[in-house]
């Protein structure tokens, strides 16, 4: 297998201007649930030796979902609101 290289971190997208702590927590929770399902599907694909193109397509979906979660996390870090604010 080839050499593994560390990819540079991507800057998360900024949160929408109308975002609030409550909305950010809701989006993060929903995004985490969806991402969990996508990751489970990816593991099943790997276990079943799915074709590379199918696996890579699933990884693209996962990356998109993680980016959406990242914008909610960025907002929450900046806001400093605890989970109880939601």
Joined tokens for residue 77: 């870090």
Enter the CATH code of domain 21-85: 1.20.58
Q: Which residue has the tokens 């959406």?
A: 68
Mean pLDDT to the nearest integer, 27-52: 94
pLDDT at 27: 85
Average pLDDT, integer, range 28-55? 94
pLDDT at 26 over 90: no
Q: Domain spans of the chain?
A: 21-85
Mean pLDDT over all residues of the chain? 82
What pLDDT was estimated at residue 60?
93
């Amino acid at each position: 297998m080839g050499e593994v290289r560390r990819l540079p971190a991507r800057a998360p997208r900024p949160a929408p201007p109308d975002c609030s702590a409550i909305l950010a927590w809701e989006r993060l929770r929903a995004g985490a649930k969806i991402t969990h399902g996508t990751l489970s599907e990816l593991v099943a694909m790997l276990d079943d030796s799915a074709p590379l193109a199918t696996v890579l397509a699933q990884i693209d979906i996962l990356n998109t979902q993680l980016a959406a979660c990242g914008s909610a996390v960025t907002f929450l870090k900046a806001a400093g609101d605890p989970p109880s604010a939601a």
